[in-house]
Amino acid sequence: MKRQPLLLCAFALLLCASLPAQNRKAAPLVFTPQWTAQAQFAGYYVAKEKGFYDEEGVDVVITHPNVTQSAIDRIRADRSHATTLQLVQAMKIMDEGIPLVNLLQTSMNSAFEFISRREVNPVGQKGAKVAVWTGFTDMVKAVAQDLNMDCQWIPAASSVALFVAGAVDASAAMTYNEHYQIRQAGFILEETAIFRFGENGYNIQEDGLYVTRDYYNKHKDQADKFARASRRGWEYAATHPEEALDIVMAYVDRNHIATNRILQQLMLKEILKLQLDPDSGVRAFTLRPDMVQQACDLLLRCGIIRKPVTLTDLSR
Amino acid sequence: MRNLTRSLSGRLSLWIVLFAVAIFIATLGYMYFVLQKAVRREAVNGATRELENTVLRVNVILEDVELLADNLEARIYKDLDNPDKMMEYSRDIVVNNSFLNGCSISFEPYFYPSKGKYYSCYSNNNGRTVYTQQEGNEQYQYFYLDWYLLPKLLHQPCWTEPYTDQEESDDATMDATMSVSYCKPLIGNDGSYVGTLSLDISLEWLSETISAVKAYPNSYSIVVSRGGTYLVHPDNHKLFYQTIFTSQLINPDPELWNLGQAMLAWDDGMQVIKVNGQSNFVFYKPLMTTGWSVGIVCPESDIFGGFHRLQNVVIAIVILGLLLMFVVFSRIIWQQLDPLRTLAIQARIIASGDFTAKLADTRRTDEIGVLSQSFNYMQESLVNYIQELTSTTAKKERIEGELQIARNIQMSLVPNVFPPFPDRKDIDLYAFMSPAKEVGGDLYEYFIQDDKLHFCIGDVSGKGVPASLFMAITLSQFRTLSHQGLPPSEVARQINDVISEKNDQLMFVTLFIGQLDLKTGRLEFCNCGHNPPILLKEKPEFMECLPNTPIGVCAGWAFEGQVLENIGSTPILLYTDGLNEAENSRHEELGNDRVLAILGQEPYTDAGALVQRLRKAVAAHVGTAEPSDDLTLLCLSLRR
């Protein structure tokens, strides 16, 4: 039996099994975003469906992680060539010895937040049980450590289910995902119950498009075209959100994702908002040196990475 | 409508119908209010009963699951030292209870050192076979899943949110069925957490059981989980993927929000919400220990459908009844008022002059009958009156004719040919008399005898025929006595004696009698209470007259005469009070002063011109007013 909770299936995404081998003869670029199909990856779906990849002359195949294999595992196994990662995830993977290249930086702001079940600052609850994902918790734990949070982490596949049932006092959440899932469960989220990383000195960029340095060196032209078309996809999604949402929902339905159009609509809106540079207000699609430096400092300070990762290390 | 309200029958019928409408509205309104409350109460009772029965049916199954879990828990604790027994227990319970999809007895990492990090004994009934296996591994770290964590964190049994239960295959999601698990915490003797016991059931039976509930033709049932997720809903798009609050993330709906909160708060009750613009009654009740809530959504149109149909039929009957009432009443009133219309036509015929027109004979004794009889009586009275009027008019015309003759006679009694003495150049005389009515009481007379001009002017008290007769007598007496050559005072005395003798009517006459010697100019006169004549000197003035009484007041009265030895050529104006007392419409008299002023305005030329001038002055003063008195003017003068 594999019981897949409807609200979230993070756990399954990080656990791997074998996947049927991809057809290598066509040598397509296999892109696997780090999560199941949702509006978080709308720009890539739009680029694919609107033919932007074809126009660039790059054959992109989009596959999603499932219960058997996560995206980064597919990269490691060379079954996928590109994925999306948060900046701190990328830094940690690089620290572990896999050089990565940031092809495109979509996120310009942090979407992390802590949400409390009670109308109190979730960071200040001593001994509180805080639900976190079973993967990519580095950023959450780094910030908690930096803030000297006194809490008990509850790793869970579905933090929202625990939160709704009252099994935890607070939960880590993304502003574009769990935030709306919790509100969808009938919760009124007061401002006092939310601790947004971005508003509290931890506004660090998240999602970016990555390939291994090795792959980039071998397929530089293809990777550059892929990045260019992907950016075009995001820009189109920003100007045609309804059409982008239709495309997202087609992917959602095709992959039998337990979500709904309204959640995806809100997610797309929030994702597009997070793509605006906090200073210039434009979609820059680049890593900001200050944020890279801040992420590096934070991870070093918390012992998550052992040596600095610079903007140069990440750049093409 | 104007035509309708023009007739009495239409107006009466309209008033009756309007009054009936008011009564019907009040009655139906009250009935509507009471019946609606009753129907609503009955709907609430019916739906609540239905809901309770449904909840009972569902609870029986849920209780079975919980009872099985309790029994199994006891056996697990008994053989907790024997990990292999757990496989057996897991399998047995699924094999022996076909309504269970699966059973998992899962333990904390390394709880059994011999079994390693993962030990989860899981049996599954896929509908064909029951297979049992240890399912925990690096790819399936069960202790991070909510079914495992919830009882551990909550320290009590609980039901999970729905999840897809799928077989291991690449296209697993295609075969997935929605399931929920009842999970119990397993606690060791030392209080440490041992693991989680989980029994899985499909949600299909729940959907089938609850969807079968049909309180009304278009009603449907819903079940929401603790997180608001629709576990049962007729709309597949909402089922499992949406919560009762999903749509409110972009379109807040306070009614739906309150309903969702009430259901999540495990309340028991009823609320009214709008779905697609239509009002729906939602009856809801919690489902035992699951944290779920069952609701029956009943469209208001269903609940009140029968009532509204009845209401529409009643309103239709009432409207038809009122229309019928209007038509019937109009007809009846029309018929009842028919004699009135006939009467109106006949009245018009009578009014046009046909007084003999035959009135309809009615035997009715009501108001219309009485009116008809009264009209009959009126017609008869009118005929009689007209006949009398005709007769009276004829009499009046005759009298008027006689009066006209009398007038002619009266006017012929006084001399009215001018100049009166064409063969005499020494006398200028002109007279005028105009009765206020057909005949009057003024008089004048003159004649020449023995070179003496005998003249008089008088005014009988009162007017009309009596005065005219009195005038004729006086005139006759004057003529007779004056011709005897008696002096004016004697003439006056004798006239007075004759008249006073048989004067039962107590009438009298003012009289001025004069004898003018045409040769000498000597004027002898006697004024019997009459207006003093005016001497038309350069400045006109009243003659000095003795105050004798009028004639006819008392027999035997002596009258004193006067003499003016020679009047010369001074004209004398004699007149009655119709001159100086002539009234206009404001009852203002012409007055002596004004008479004198008029006379002094122009120099005297001849008697005729003077009289005509005075007539015009009087006419100008009186204007459109009726003549208040007889007017007589006599002017004379000697020509030298």
Model pLDDT for residues B432-467, shown as the tens digit of each residue: 999 888 888 899 999 999 999 999 999 998 878 888
Return the CA Rg of chain B: 66
What's the CATH number of domain B79-202, 3.40.50.920, 2.40.50.140, 3.20.20.150, 3.30.450.20?
3.30.450.20
Q: How many CA atoms lie within 13 A of B433 on its CB side?
A: 26
Residues on chain A touching B242 (C-beta within 8 angstroms):
184, 260, 262
Do A69 and A135 lie in one domain? The reply is: no
Cβ B149–A156 below 8 Å, yes or no?
yes
Do A157 and A272 lie in one domain? The reply is: no
Q: Which domain holds residue A162?
A: 112-199
Do A271 and A220 lie in one domain? The reply is: yes
Query: Chain A residue with minimal CA distance to B179?
Result: A3
Do A104 and A117 lie in one domain? The reply is: no
> If pLDDT is split at 50, 70 and 90, which confidence band does A8 have?
very low
Residue B174 has pLDDT above 50, yes or no: no
Q: Is B230 on the interface with A (CB under 8 A)?
A: no
CA-to-CA distance for B102 and B95, rounded, in angstroms?
A: 9
Domain B414-638 has CATH 3.40.50.300: no
Q: What is the least distance, in Å, from the CA of A249 to any CA of chain B? A: 13
Average pLDDT for B495-503: 88
Give helix then strand counts, H and E, for chain A: 14, 11
CA-to-CA distance for A38 and A255, rounded, in angstroms?
A: 10
Q: What is the least distance, in Å, from the CA of A159 to any CA of chain B? A: 8
Do A236 and A170 lie in one domain? The reply is: no
* B406 CB-near residues (< 8 Å, 6+ apart): B438, B439, B465, B468
- Residue-averaged pLDDT of chain A: 89
Q: Is B569 on the interface with A (CB under 8 A)?
A: no
Cβ A184–B243 below 8 Å, yes or no?
yes
Cβ A165–B260 below 8 Å, yes or no?
no
Residue B44 has what pLDDT? 82
Q: Is B272 on the interface with A (CB under 8 A)?
A: no
For helices A42-49 and A241-254, angle between their N-to-C axes, nearest 10 degrees? 90
In this complex, the residue of A4, A17, A262 whose CB is nearest that of residue B163 is A4
Q: Which of the listed residues A199, A216, A244 is the one where a domain comes to its end?
A: A199
Residue B1 has what pLDDT? 57
Q: Is B122 on the interface with A (CB under 8 A)?
A: yes
Average pLDDT for B272-289: 88
Residue B320 has pLDDT above 50, yes or no: yes
Q: Is B445 on the interface with A (CB under 8 A)?
A: no
Chain A residues at the B interface, defined by Cβ less than 8 Å, are 1-7, 11, 15-17, 20, 67-68, 129, 134, 154-158, 160-162, 164-168, 180, 183-186, 255-256, 258-260, 262-263, 265-266
Q: What is the least distance, in Å, from the CA of B176 to any CA of chain A? A: 10
Q: Is B163 on the interface with A (CB under 8 A)?
A: yes
Q: Is B154 on the interface with A (CB under 8 A)?
A: yes
Q: What DSSP letter does each residue of B168-236 carry, written as one string?
A: SSTTGGGG-EEEEEEEEEEE-TTS-EEEEEEEEEESHHHHHHHHT--SSTT-EEEEE-TT-BEEE-S-T
In this complex, the residue of A11, A256, A265 whose CB is nearest that of residue B141 is A11
Residue A24 has what pLDDT? 37
Query: Chain A residue with minimal CA distance to B245?
Result: A184
Do A287 and A223 lie in one domain? The reply is: yes
Q: Which of the listed residues A168, A199, A230 is the one where a domain comes to its end?
A: A199
Q: Which of the listed residues A199, A233, A252 is the one where a domain comes to its end?
A: A199
Number of domains in chain A: 2
Domain of residue A81, CATH code = 3.40.190.10
By the 8 A CB rule, do A128 and A151 touch? yes
Query: Chain A residue with minimal CA distance to B122?
Result: A1
B368-409 pLDDT, tens per residue? 788 878 888 888 888 888 889 989 999 999 988 888 888 888
Q: What DSSP letter does each residue of A45-105 carry, written as one string?
A: HHHHHTTHHHHHT--EEE---BTTB-HHHHHHTTS-SEEEE-HHHHHHHHHTT--EEEEEE
To test the contact with chain A by mutation, choose from B129, B143, B146 the residue with the greatest count of A C-beta atoms within 10 A, namely: B146
CA-to-CA distance for A79 and A81, rounded, in angstroms?
A: 7
Residue A14 has what pLDDT? 34
- Report the percent of chain B where pLDDT is more than 70: 97
> If pLDDT is split at 50, 70 and 90, which confidence band does A194 have?
very high
Residue B640 has pLDDT above 90, yes or no: no
Whether A52 maps to a domain, the answer reads yes
Chains A, B: CB pairs < 8 Å: 140
In this complex, the residue of B102, B153, B249 whose CB is nearest that of residue A180 is B249
A213-235 pLDDT, tens per residue? 999 999 999 999 999 999 999 99
The yes-or-no answer to whether B79-202 and B414-638 have a common fold is: no
Residue A7 has pLDDT above 60, yes or no: no
Residue A5 has what pLDDT? 42
CA angle (A282 as vertex; A279, A244 as ends), nearest 5: 135
Whether A47 maps to a domain, the answer reads yes
Residues on chain A touching B260 (C-beta within 8 angstroms):
186
Residue B287 has pLDDT above 60, yes or no: yes
B579-629 pLDDT, tens per residue? 999 999 898 999 999 999 999 888 889 999 999 999 999 999 999 888 888
Cβ B165–A3 below 8 Å, yes or no?
yes
Q: Range with the lowest mean pLDDT among A161-170, B113-122, B433-442, B529-538?
A: B433-442
Residue A23 has pLDDT above 70, yes or no: no
A284-315 pLDDT, tens per residue? 999 999 999 999 999 999 999 999 999 999 99
Residue A15 has pLDDT above 60, yes or no: no
To test the contact with chain A by mutation, choose from B106, B129, B144 the residue with the greatest count of A C-beta atoms within 10 A, namely: B144
> If pLDDT is split at 50, 70 and 90, which confidence band does B526 have?
very high
Residues on chain A touching B245 (C-beta within 8 angstroms):
183-186
Residue B376 has what pLDDT? 82
Residue B264 has pLDDT above 50, yes or no: yes
By the 8 A CB rule, do B284 and B272 touch? no
Do A86 and A227 lie in one domain? The reply is: yes
Residue A239 has what pLDDT? 97
- Residue-averaged pLDDT of chain B: 88
Residue A25 has what pLDDT? 38
In whole angstroms, how far apart are CA B626 and each of B178, B403, B467, B560, B583?
A: 120, 19, 19, 37, 9
Do A47 and A118 lie in one domain? The reply is: no
Q: Range with the lowest mean pLDDT among A297-301, B360-364, B416-420?
A: B360-364
CA-to-CA distance for A100 and B372, rounded, in angstroms?
A: 120
Cβ B241–A258 below 8 Å, yes or no?
yes
CA-to-CA distance for B28 and B10, rounded, in angstroms?
A: 26
Q: What is the least distance, in Å, from the CA of B291 to any CA of chain A? A: 9
Do A169 and A34 lie in one domain? The reply is: no
In this complex, the residue of B102, B167, B226 whose CB is nearest that of residue A164 is B226
CA-to-CA distance for B214 and B218, rounded, in angstroms?
A: 8
Whether A309 maps to a domain, the answer reads no
Average pLDDT for B126-144: 89
Do A286 and A159 lie in one domain? The reply is: no
Whether A30 maps to a domain, the answer reads yes
Cβ A160–B227 below 8 Å, yes or no?
yes
Q: Is B141 on the interface with A (CB under 8 A)?
A: yes
In this complex, the residue of A7, A166, A184 whose CB is nearest that of residue B245 is A184
Average pLDDT for A40-63: 97
Do A99 and A20 lie in one domain? The reply is: yes
Residue B171 has pLDDT above 60, yes or no: no
B542-563 pLDDT, tens per residue? 999 988 899 998 888 899 999 9
Return the CA Rg of chain A: 19
Cβ B153–A68 below 8 Å, yes or no?
no
**Length reported for chain B:** 640
What ipTM was reported for this prediction?
0.86
Average pLDDT for B281-308: 87
Residue A68 has what pLDDT? 61
By the 8 A CB rule, do A227 and A104 touch? yes
- Structure-block tokens of residue B333: 């009133």
- Report the percent of chain B where pLDDT is more than 90: 48
Q: Is B40 on the interface with A (CB under 8 A)?
A: no
Residue B466 has what pLDDT? 86
CA-to-CA distance for B159 and B45, rounded, in angstroms?
A: 30
Q: Range with the lowest mean pLDDT among A174-178, B357-361, B447-451?
A: B357-361
Do A47 and A117 lie in one domain? The reply is: no
By the 8 A CB rule, do B194 and B83 touch? no
* B463 closest CA partner among B484, B446, B442: B442
Residue A1 has pLDDT above 50, yes or no: no
Cβ B228–A266 below 8 Å, yes or no?
no
Residues on chain B touching A265 (C-beta within 8 angstroms):
250
By the 8 A CB rule, do B179 and B163 touch? yes
Residue A22 has pLDDT above 50, yes or no: no
Residue A31 has what pLDDT? 96
The count of other CB atoms within 10 Å of the CB of residue A311 is 16
Residue A9 has pLDDT above 60, yes or no: no
Delimit the domains of chain B by residue range.
2-61+206-307, 79-202, 414-638
Whether A313 maps to a domain, the answer reads no
In this complex, the residue of A1, A166, A258 whose CB is nearest that of residue B135 is A1
Class of domain B2-61+206-307: alpha beta
Residue B176 has what pLDDT? 60
What order do you get walking across the sheet with B442-449 strand by strand?
B442-449, B452-460, B509-517, B523-528, B562-564
B580-592 pLDDT, tens per residue? 999 998 989 999 9
In whole angstroms, how far apart are CA B210 and each of A142, B135, B250, B303?
A: 48, 33, 29, 19
